[in-house]
């Protein structure tokens, strides 16, 4: 969730917010369409509850909708993630419009796009037929779900196209999606499913998983001969593995753009799904100057309440001074270089980190480097990697650069670090 | 025969040499040994020949009789040999043969050392002043904001003041046990230790920068630091006590060892989490050509070892979890 907040810090995001507030106004006035949509389609939407077996009480709720006459229900992966991570402790049930509850099984998942297909006992429920949808920007859409477990609600908003600069496609929906509506459908006035409610950045900036991803997963789950995997957690690992393989392949390839910061040349925007921003500061009370440049993927993959993954960040800091002597300047570099590391994740999900340090020579640069890694305990083959390097030898300037990768294979991380190292250099005179 | 009058702690208060027997002991002024004790009779006891060449102490009908200080048993007669102790009233007497051989004099390690290098006033002043300068320099090099000299000197002074409190404590103990303060010496000792620490950690930073892999410089320097502390404590003890030199070092080693053990134990719970963290990374201002480096490929070969490390760690944790269940 922190990533969404970080995205808001980009000045451009403020403009988007402004638009959201304006277009949101008519929705508050209400429209006869919403009432109609609700009347026609509400029965196809259900509440999904994750139940803790021992206490028999619900531990999480979300929404879902029928997509077939044989009891197939679509929701978000994150609504049923407890079941997948700890099947021995949790079960799930759906509550339909008639307040009847039925036990459901998770049939198929798509952890990257945050989708799950559930299987319920068929009971003649009405359902949404899925078809590719590409509405025009500005089309009025209706999102349904159970916000804060307050009962089925309908929210009106507008379609604002696919997000740019994201690793996987997401629809920008201008409307208020709230916790509990996750997994519910967002439909057109005619009842065509456009996407699945998934997340929000607040203030009517909400996100949907596009329907084509839903069609693909439902197609897979309802294919004749499809067998539900024994361990869905293994499926999670497999999906994350193939996902990182695709997006890491070209990261920091030769064509990666570079920028000049101080006297150094550093890579920036390693792929279109990165967002980069920067700042420079000089304060009279401080005897040194800093230039910062950072890039980060906008997305993360939700694995469980304790673990998220798929985040890549890149941060360059150039420090320079005219007032500090070389010893004091290197104290400054040391303090900026040491200290940070991985974001905290519990012992149940990752191993403690292990690090190695070394001084490395690149053409024109001597660098001191730290490479740290930790392994995912429940998802075989996945690691987090933290790499940090600082330039050495210049008495009054230095570059500190950090690369973090999460949910990647060790081999991929190693390859990316190798390319990243190779892309660092001195700015041409 | 020598009669020693002891105080409650067993320290000799007074010694009387008796040459002619019988000799009398009591509160009265006519006695050979006069005891200033209200529980002693004016004529309490008599020390006389027993007819076999030995001496015997005979009670003269006193109120409190003679008592064995160890058992508290009262008696009317006590054979006296060298080393025998007896209680009259509330006073303990010890009899000693003047011809008894004594242990050789203790070598005053303290005096030997104190009169050695550390006790020289010029050297002491240099060490104390040098420590102040080192503290100031150290804090100046570590500061990365605009700092005034007065601020730095103030910090060094505060550190020195704390050292002075420590030295003062030892000086007081010294006054009580040896009737000498020796404050400058007690101040010089922690200054040497402190300067040693500062220099050792600076050396450690440079070594871990120049040779980052392979050698646990931190542990080596921590060892040197501990050795310095043991020396410091032993040097304090040499001044305040009459312990032999071996005993001084043993005591000092025990105290430092015990403290280190407690700290290590207290931190041992965190070991797996923090082992191998990047806290040791030090950057030093050396020209690039002097810095020992490896190629990226060589570095990445070292990195491969990490994968094995975390994989093994994962297996161990899985085993532990399975056991717990």
pLDDT in tens, B232-256: 999 999 888 888 888 889 999 999 9
CB contact under 8 A, B281 and A370: yes
- Residue B237 phi/psi, 5-degree rounding, is -60, -40
The C-alpha atoms of residue B258 and residue B243 are separated, in whole angstroms, by: 20
Q: Quick one: pLDDT band at residue B195, thresholds 50, 70, 90?
A: very high
The answer to whether residues A407 and A300 touch, using CB atoms and an 8 Å cutoff, is no
A308 at interface of B, judged by CB pairs closer than 8 A: no
Q: Which of A197, A228, A259 is the last residue of a domain?
A: A228
Residues A276 and A205 in one domain: no
Tens-binned pLDDT, residue by residue, of chain A (429 aa): 333 332 222 223 333 332 222 222 334 444 568 899 999 999 999 999 999 989 988 888 999 999 998 999 999 999 999 889 888 899 999 998 878 889 999 999 999 999 999 999 988 889 888 888 888 999 999 999 998 888 899 999 999 999 887 888 899 999 988 889 999 999 998 889 999 999 888 888 999 999 999 999 999 999 999 988 888 899 999 999 998 888 887 777 667 788 899 889 998 888 888 889 999 887 778 889 999 999 998 778 888 888 888 889 999 999 999 888 889 999 899 888 876 778 888 888 888 888 888 889 988 889 988 899 999 998 989 999 999 999 998 889 999 999 999 999 999 999 999 989 988 888 887
The answer to whether residues A102 and A93 touch, using CB atoms and an 8 Å cutoff, is yes
**Residue A190 resides in a domain:** yes
Please tell me the predicted confidence (pLDDT) of residue B172.
94
**What dihedral angle (degrees, nearest 10) is formed by the CA atoms of A199, A201, A202, A208?**
-40
Residues A124 and A48 in one domain: yes
CB contact under 8 A, B277 and A373: no
The C-alpha atoms of residue A358 and residue A389 are separated, in whole angstroms, by: 9
Residues A96 and A216 in one domain: yes
Contacts of B307 in chain A (CB under 8 A): 373, 383, 410
The answer to whether residues A391 and B284 touch, using CB atoms and an 8 Å cutoff, is no
Three-state SS at B42: coil
Most distant pair of Cα atoms in chain A: their distance: 79
**Residue A234 resides in a domain:** no
Three-state SS at B282: coil
CB contact under 8 A, A356 and B296: no
- Residue from B303, B317, B320 whose CB has the most chain A CBs within 10 Å, to mutate: B303
Residues A249 and A386 in one domain: yes
Please tell me the predicted confidence (pLDDT) of residue A17.
31
Question: CB within 8 A of B102, min separation 6: which ones?
Answer: none
The C-alpha atoms of residue B310 and residue B312 are separated, in whole angstroms, by: 5
The C-alpha atoms of residue B100 and residue B106 are separated, in whole angstroms, by: 18
Please tell me the predicted confidence (pLDDT) of residue B221.
84
Least CB–CB distance from B285: residue in A338, A375, A395: A395
Contacts of A403 in chain B (CB under 8 A): none
Encoded tokens for A391: 């330039």
Write the pLDDT tens digit of every residue in A240-261: 999 888 888 777 766 778 889 9
Among all chains, which residue has been given the structure tokens 């490929």? B297
A421 at interface of B, judged by CB pairs closer than 8 A: yes
A 368-397: CB under 8 A from B:
368-375, 377, 383, 388, 390, 392-395
The C-alpha atoms of residue A110 and residue B19 are separated, in whole angstroms, by: 110
Contacts of A371 in chain B (CB under 8 A): 299, 303, 306
CB contact under 8 A, A352 and B272: yes
Would you mind telling me the total number of residues written for chain A in this entry?
429
The C-alpha atoms of residue A186 and residue B187 are separated, in whole angstroms, by: 78
DSSP A136: P
More confident residue, B209 or B161: B161
Find the residue in A nearest to B271 (Cα): A352
CB contact under 8 A, B279 and A383: no
Show contacts of B152-160: CB within 8 Å, 24+ apart. B156/B132, B157/B132, B159/B135, B159/B194, B160/B128, B160/B131, B160/B132, B160/B135
Residues A164 and A142 in one domain: yes
A129 at interface of B, judged by CB pairs closer than 8 A: no
The C-alpha atoms of residue A179 and residue A197 are separated, in whole angstroms, by: 10
The answer to whether residues B62 and B125 touch, using CB atoms and an 8 Å cutoff, is no
**Residue A237 resides in a domain:** no
CB contact under 8 A, B310 and A375: yes
Q: Where are the beta strands (DSSP E) in B27-167?
A: 33-34, 45-49, 55-59, 66-67, 74-75, 77-80, 85-88, 91-96
The C-alpha atoms of residue B123 and residue B179 are separated, in whole angstroms, by: 24
Q: Is the pLDDT of residue B39 over 90?
A: yes
Write the pLDDT tens digit of every residue in B54-101: 899 999 999 999 998 778 889 899 899 888 899 999 899 999 988 878
Contacts of A422 in chain B (CB under 8 A): 296
Least CB–CB distance from A356: residue in B145, B293, B302: B302
A 341-370: CB under 8 A from B:
341, 347, 351-362, 365-366, 368-370
Q: Which of A195, A228, A261 is the last residue of a domain?
A: A228
Kindly report the number of other CB atoms within 10 A of residue A411's CB atom.
14
For B2-96, the fitting CATH number among 3.30.70.1350, 2.60.40.420, 3.30.1360.20, 2.60.200.20 is 2.60.200.20
**Residue A71 resides in a domain:** yes
Q: Concatenated DSSP letters for A26-72?
A: HHHH--HHHHHHHHHHGGGEEEEEEEETTT--EEEEEEEEE-STTSE
Least CB–CB distance from B141: residue in A327, A375, A395: A327
CA-nearest of A181, A198, A135, A140 to A24 is A140
Residues A149 and A254 in one domain: no
The C-alpha atoms of residue A66 and residue A43 are separated, in whole angstroms, by: 9
A 109-128: CB under 8 A from B:
none
Residues A74 and A140 in one domain: yes
A 268-287: CB under 8 A from B:
285-287
The C-alpha atoms of residue A187 and residue A141 are separated, in whole angstroms, by: 6
Please tell me the predicted confidence (pLDDT) of residue A25.
34
The C-alpha atoms of residue A357 and residue A355 are separated, in whole angstroms, by: 7
CB contact under 8 A, B276 and A354: yes
Residues A264 and A371 in one domain: yes
Please tell me the predicted confidence (pLDDT) of residue B126.
93
**Residue A235 resides in a domain:** no
Q: Quick one: pLDDT band at residue B107, thresholds 50, 70, 90?
A: low
**What dihedral angle (degrees, nearest 10) is formed by the CA atoms of B285, B286, B288, B290?**
-160
Three-state SS at A429: coil
Q: What is the CATH number of the domain that holds A254?
A: 3.40.1000
Among all chains, which residue has been given the structure tokens 């010694």? B15
Encoded tokens for B185: 């010496």
CB contact under 8 A, B288 and A356: no
A252 at interface of B, judged by CB pairs closer than 8 A: no
CB contact under 8 A, A375 and B314: yes
Q: Which residues of B200-212 are buried (b: 16+ CB within 10 A; e: fewer)?
A: bbeebbebbbeeb
Residues A211 and A103 in one domain: yes
CB contact under 8 A, A375 and B313: yes
Least CB–CB distance from A338: residue in B145, B279, B317: B279
CA-nearest of A288, A356, A359, A275 to A317 is A288
Find the residue in B nearest to A332 (Cα): B144
CB contact under 8 A, A356 and B311: no
Q: Structural domain tally of chain A?
A: 2
For chain B, give every domain's residue range: 2-96, 109-269
Find the residue in A nearest to B281 (Cα): A338
- Residue B199 phi/psi, 5-degree rounding, is -65, -45
DSSP A378: S
**Residue A321 resides in a domain:** yes
Q: What is the CATH number of the domain that holds A141?
A: 2.40.10.120
Q: Which of A190, A206, A228 is the last residue of a domain?
A: A228
Please tell me the predicted confidence (pLDDT) of residue A32.
61
Residues A414 and A299 in one domain: yes
Sheet containing strand B77-80, edge to edge, reads B33-34, B23-26, B45-49, B55-59, B77-80
Residue-number span of the structural domain to which A59 is assigned:
2-228
The answer to whether residues A223 and A108 touch, using CB atoms and an 8 Å cutoff, is no
CA-nearest of A254, A298, A300, A244 to A276 is A298
Q: Quick one: pLDDT band at residue B280, thresholds 50, 70, 90?
A: low
Residues A171 and A293 in one domain: no
Q: Is the pLDDT of residue B163 over 90?
A: yes
Please tell me the predicted confidence (pLDDT) of residue A168.
83
CA-nearest of A389, A380, A383 to A353 is A383
CA distances from A144 to A113, A361, B221 (A): 19, 57, 65
More confident residue, A330 or B144: A330
Least CB–CB distance from B285: residue in A329, A360, A374: A329
Q: How far is A189 from chain B (nearest CA, A)?
A: 52
Q: How far is A355 from chain B (nearest CA, A)?
A: 5
Residues A206 and A246 in one domain: no
Sheet containing strand A288-297, edge to edge, reads A274-282, A288-297, A312-321, A397-408, A383-392, A365-375, A354-362
- Helix count and strand count (H, E) for chain B: 8, 11
Contacts of A365 in chain B (CB under 8 A): 288
Contacts of B300 in chain A (CB under 8 A): 414, 417-418
Q: How far is A369 from chain B (nearest CA, A)?
A: 9
């Amino acid at each position: 969730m922190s990533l969404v907040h970080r995205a808001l810090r980009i000045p451009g995001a403020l403009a988007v917010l402004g638009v959201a507030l304006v277009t949101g106004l008519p929705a508050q006035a209400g429209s006869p369409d919403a009432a109609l949509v609700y009347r026609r389609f509400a029965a196809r939407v259900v509440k999904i509850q994750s139940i803790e077996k021992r206490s028999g009480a619900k531990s999480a709720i979300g929404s879902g909708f029928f997509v077939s006459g044989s009891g197939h229900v679509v929701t978000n992966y994150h609504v049923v993630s407890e079941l997948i991570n700890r099947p021995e402790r949790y079960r799930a049930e759906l509550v339909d419009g008639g307040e009847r509850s039925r036990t459901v099984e998770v049939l198929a998942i798509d952890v990257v796009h945050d989708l799950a297909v559930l299987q319920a006992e068929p009971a003649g429920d009405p359902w949404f037929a899925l078809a590719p949808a590409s509405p025009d920007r500005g089309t009025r859409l209706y999102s349904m779900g159970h916000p804060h477990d307050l009962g089925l609600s309908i929210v009106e908003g507008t379609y604002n196209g696919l997000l740019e600069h994201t690793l996987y496609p997401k629809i920008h929906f201008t409307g208020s999606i709230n916790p509990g509506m996750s997994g519910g459908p967002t439909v057109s006035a005619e009842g065509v499913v456009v996407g699945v409610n998934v997340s929000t950045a607040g203030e009517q900036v909400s996100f949907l998983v596009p329907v084509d991803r839903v069609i693909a997963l439902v197609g897979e789950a309802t294919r004749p001969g499809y067998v539900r995997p024994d361990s869905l957690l293994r499926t999670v690992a497999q999906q994350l593995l193939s996902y990182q393989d695709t997006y890491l392949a070209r990261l920091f390839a030769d064509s990666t753009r570079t920028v000049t910061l101080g006297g150094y040349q550093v890579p920036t925007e390693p792929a279109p799904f990165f967002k980069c921003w920067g700042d420079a500061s000089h304060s009279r009370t401080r005897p040194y100057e800093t230039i910062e440049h950072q890039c980060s993927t906008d997305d993360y993959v939700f694995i469980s309440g304790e673990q998220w993954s798929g985040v890549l960040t890149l941060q360059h800091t150039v420090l320079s001074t005219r007032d500090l002597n070389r010893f004091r300047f290197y104290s400054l570099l040391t303090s900026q270089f040491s200290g940070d590391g991985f974001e905290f994740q519990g012992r149940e999900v990752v191993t403690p980190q292990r690090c190695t340090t070394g001084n490395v020579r690149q053409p024109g640069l001597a660098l001191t480097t730290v490479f740290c890694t930790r392994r995912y305990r429940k998802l075989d083959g996945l690691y987090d990697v933290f790499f940090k390097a600082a330039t050495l030898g210049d008495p009054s300037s230095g570059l500190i650069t950090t690369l973090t990768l999460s949910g990647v294979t060790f081999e991929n991380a190693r390859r990316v670090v190798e390319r990243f190292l190779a892309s660092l250099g001195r700015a041409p005179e | 025969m020598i009669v020693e009058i002891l105080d409650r702690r067993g320290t000799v208060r007074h010694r009387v040499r008796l040459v002619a027997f019988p000799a009398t002991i009591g509160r009265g002024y006519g006695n050979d040994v006069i005891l200033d004790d209200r529980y002693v009779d004016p004529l309490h006891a008599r020390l006389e020949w027993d007819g076999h060449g030995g001496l015997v102490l005979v009670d003269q009908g006193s109120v409190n009789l003679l008592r064995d200080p160890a058992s508290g048993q009262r008696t009317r007669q006590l054979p006296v040999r060298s080393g025998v102790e007896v209680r009259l009233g509330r006073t303990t007497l010890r009899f000693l043969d003047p011809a008894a051989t004594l242990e050789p004099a203790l070598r005053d390690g303290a005096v030997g050392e104190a009169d050695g290098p550390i006790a020289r006033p010029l050297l002491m002043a240099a060490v104390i002043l040098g420590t102040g300068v080192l503290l100031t320099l150290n804090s100046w090099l570590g500061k990365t904001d605009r700092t005034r000299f007065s601020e730095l000197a103030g910090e060094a002074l505060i550190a020195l003041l704390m050292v002075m409190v420590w030295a003062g404590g030892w000086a007081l103990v010294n006054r009580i046990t040896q009737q000498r303060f020796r404050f400058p010496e007690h101040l010089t000792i922690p200054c040497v230790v402190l300067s040693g620490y500062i220099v050792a950690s600076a050396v450690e930073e440079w070594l871990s920068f120049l040779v980052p892999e392979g050698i646990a410089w931190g542990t080596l320097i921590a060892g040197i630091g501990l050795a310095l502390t043991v020396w410091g404590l032993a040097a304090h003890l040499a001044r305040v006590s009459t312990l032999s030199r071996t005993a001084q070092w043993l005591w000092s080693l025990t105290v430092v060892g015990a403290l280190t053990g407690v700290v290590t134990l207290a931190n041992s719970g965190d070991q797996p989490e923090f082992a191998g963290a990047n806290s040791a990374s030090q950057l030093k201002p050396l020209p690039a050509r002097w810095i020992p480096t490896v190629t990226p490929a060589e570095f990445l070969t070292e990195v491969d070892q990490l994968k094995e490390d975390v994989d093994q760690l994962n297996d161990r944790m899985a085993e532990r979890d399975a056991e717990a269940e």
